Amino acid sequence: MGNNVKILLFLGITGFFQSCIKDESFDETPIIKFETFELYSKTGISIDSAKYTFSFTDGDGDLGEDDSTVFNCFLQYEEKNGDGFTMTPILLREYQLPSLTPNANDKNIEGEISLILKPAPIFSVLTDSAYRYSCYVIDRAGNKSNVISNPWTKK
């Protein structure tokens, strides 16, 4: 094989492998996106638990925490009130996400997180308004993500 053919073959193989490598760069502030809100019932009549799922990206991989006393994921209960909504501070659920930092040079991370709500949902039975949960996360640098919400759900 001539040198020109070897060089072209080398460049072709190198280009092929580089096109297979996913090179994404995410913002260092976590970004979350609502995926699903599922209700569960053992009896088929009363709801006993729920699952709230969202996807995330984080450019510096500092989402999550090793300290079990630190909460970094928050789920806020809200009820529809006419054209607006009312947040119920007593119904703020706090979660501790474990450290998700990869052991690699590339700290970009992405994935899905499911939060289990049990018992769930807790809502006022005195009204028939719709409810939803809003969610956000905070990384170890103190960066707060965007806030997401599931669609309004009828009681």
Q: Residue ranges per domain, the chain? A: 26-149
In CATH, the number for domain 26-149 is 2.60.40
Please name the residue ranges forming H helices in 55-128: none
CA angle, corner 153, sides to 151 and 155, nearest 5? 170
Q: What is the pTM of this model?
A: 0.78
Local confidence band at 15 (pLDDT 50, 70, 90 cut-offs):
very low
Q: Each residue of 133-145: pLDDT tens digit?
A: 999 999 999 999 9
Q: Can you tell me whether residue 26 is helix, strand or coil?
A: coil
Residue 6 has pLDDT above 80, yes or no: no
Alpha carbon distance 82, 85 (integer Å): 7
Q: Give the per-residue pLDDT at 13.
A: 47
Local confidence band at 147 (pLDDT 50, 70, 90 cut-offs):
very high
